[in-house]
Structure 1
């Protein structure tokens, strides 16, 4: 079946997002990955980056389609981290897109098994008063997926112990923006620790900020009015 213009555009957005991750300095090589729902209908599954291909060499046809039953189509293998993309998409109807990076500062904190506390009010962008760090599990395993889901409970971002970071959003643009914000917060927190002990904002203040941002209680399904809406049409 020929690929519609909207589907091609959404597949290209997956590629462009990964290229931007590296250009922004929040990822290196092909260590990160991204996914986005095909449409508003969960049964349509999601598009995910293929495994081990330099981002600049990926064509829209190389982007892999995964169903929520774990099967995949197209002519490439999905990212080795497809399990947590699949399980997050299954568990979080509010999630339209996922960005995973190995940013320098987020990964440094993750290697120390440190969460990011509310040292700055922008922490509320991630949906709570902390950005948790998961337990460690080998990459690409179900155990990693399980611990990532736990760390993401009630949140839009988490660190993965000795690994990297995950950010989710209603679409790729917002998921990438949150990934950039988390990496920035990680860098600022790392720097404060070089000087002293930062003052942590109380939970009620983060809740107040979150209400102003509209990020707390994150769970409403986004309408996804971008290109996803038209995927499958001529």
Structure 2
């Protein structure tokens, strides 16, 4: 089976999306690219994560043509491809419908650095404007919003996170969901204190080597 290890990782992290409360049912999607082969492994459209096996993970080339897998690739294949094409350092994309990040997205809010863990995404988490899911317009909006960022909120939709590995992209999604929850809860009782640009520059400098052994 081609790209068996990558397909296994897509299955593993798809199940983690459910276990960690970052989505429900078949919501969201994730992918992992092998740039040497010019192929990416992506979750199939509309299938429950608990029922996906490595053989059901879809393989697609970087032009968007399906090369293996019995079902259709995720309906959000477009923004996965756009991110891989525009961000050569990115090898994995995770899209969630996590509750607090999605709440902010439905309010039309960016996520400012009320907590330093926003630094997993950058100095803030920007907001991409609303477009119907699965459309070229959404793919372009996501790619534009994520220039220089490792995560973006999608208005009235959810969150997208990227990384050089699937583990890293998942960690970004998980930490931004935590930061979104803290920000929402703080807004419910007062006005959060936002970290300054200088404070976030220091955080981002430290994050450049965080978790790198």
Question: What TM-score do you get using the length of structure 1 for normalisation?
Answer: 0.86
RMSD: 1.4
How much has 1:76 moved relative to structure 2? 1.7
**Structure 2 partner of 1:97:** 92
**Structure 1 partner of 2:82:** 87
Contact 2:119–2:204 (CA<8 Å) still a contact in 1?
A: yes
Q: Is residue 2:58 matched to residue 1:72?
A: no
Q: Secondary structure at the match of 2:83?
A: helix
How much has 1:213 moved relative to structure 2? 1.0
Given the alignment, which residue of 146, 150, 160 partners 2:154?
160
Question: Which deviates more from structure 2 when the two are superposed, residues 68-77 or residues 90-99?
Answer: 68-77
Number of aligned residue pairs: give it.
209
**Structure 2 partner of 1:148:** 142
Pick 1 or 2: higher relative contact order, CA cutoff 8 A, min separation 6. Answer: 1
**Structure 2 partner of 1:201:** 195
* 5+ residue gaps, structure 1: 216-221, 223-234
Given the alignment, which residue of 106, 127, 130 partners 1:133?
127
Aligned counterparts of 2:116 and 2:170: Cα–Cα separation in 1 = 19
Aligned counterparts of 2:118 and 2:98: Cα–Cα separation in 1 = 17
Aligned counterparts of 1:88 and 1:193: Cα–Cα separation in 2 = 32
**Structure 1 partner of 2:26:** 30
Aligned counterparts of 2:42 and 2:50: Cα–Cα separation in 1 = 15
Q: Secondary structure at the match of 2:202?
A: helix
**Structure 1 partner of 2:15:** 19
How much has 1:116 moved relative to structure 2? 0.5
How much has 1:45 moved relative to structure 2? 2.1
Aligned counterparts of 1:133 and 1:58: Cα–Cα separation in 2 = 30
Contact 2:117–2:176 (CA<8 Å) still a contact in 1?
A: no
How much has 1:68 moved relative to structure 2? 1.1
Displacement over 3 Å in runs of 4+: none
